[in-house]
Chain A
Amino acid sequence: MALSDYQRDMEGCSRCSSCKWVPFNQIKSWRFAKNCPSICRYNFHAYSGSGRMIIGLSMLTGRSELNDHVAEIVYRCQLCGACDTACKVYRDDIDLTEVLLELRAHCVEQGFLMVEHMAAIDALKREDNVLGEPKAKRGEWAEGLPLKDINRERCEVLFHAGCRYSYDPDLRDTVRGAARLLLEAGLEVGIAGAEESCCGGRAYELGFRGEAENYAEDLLSRVKASGARILVTPCADGYAHFRYLYPRMGKEIPCEVLHITQLLERLILEGRLRFREEVPFLLTYHDPCHLGRMGEPFLGEWKGDKLQRPMSMKRAGRKGIYEAPRNLIRALPGAELVEMERIREYAWCCGAGGGVYEAFPDFASWTARERIEEALATGAEGLATACPWCVRVLRDAAQEMGAELPVYDLVDLVLQAAGIAEKERV
Chain B
Amino acid sequence: MAELNMLLEKLASVVGNENVSTAEDLLSTYRKAGTVEGGEPLAVVRPADTREVRELVKLARAEGYNLVFSSSAPPRLRGDSIPRGEGIIVDMSRMDKIVRLDRRNKVALIEAGVTYERLIPEVDKLGLKVLMPLLPKRGKSVLASCLEREPIIIPKYHWDMTDPMLCTELVFGTGDLFRTGSAAGPGTLEQQWAAGAAQKNPMGPAQTDFVRVVQGSQGTMAAVTWCSLKLEVKPEIHRIRFVPDAKLERLIDFTYRALRPRLGDEWLILNSYALATMVSEDPERIPDLAGEQAPFTVVYGVSGYQYLPEERVAYQERDLARHAQAAGVSATAEVPGCSWKKMERILASPSPEPYYKMRPKGDFLDIFFLTTLDQAPRFISVMEAQAERFGYPTQRIGIYIQPIQQGRNAHLEFTIYFNPEDRPKALELFDSASRALSEAGAFFSRPYGAWSDLAYARCPDTVRVLRKVKDMLDPDHVLNRGKLCFEIEGVS
A/B contact in complex, CB under 8 angstroms: no
Residues of A at the B interface (CB closer than 8 Å) are none
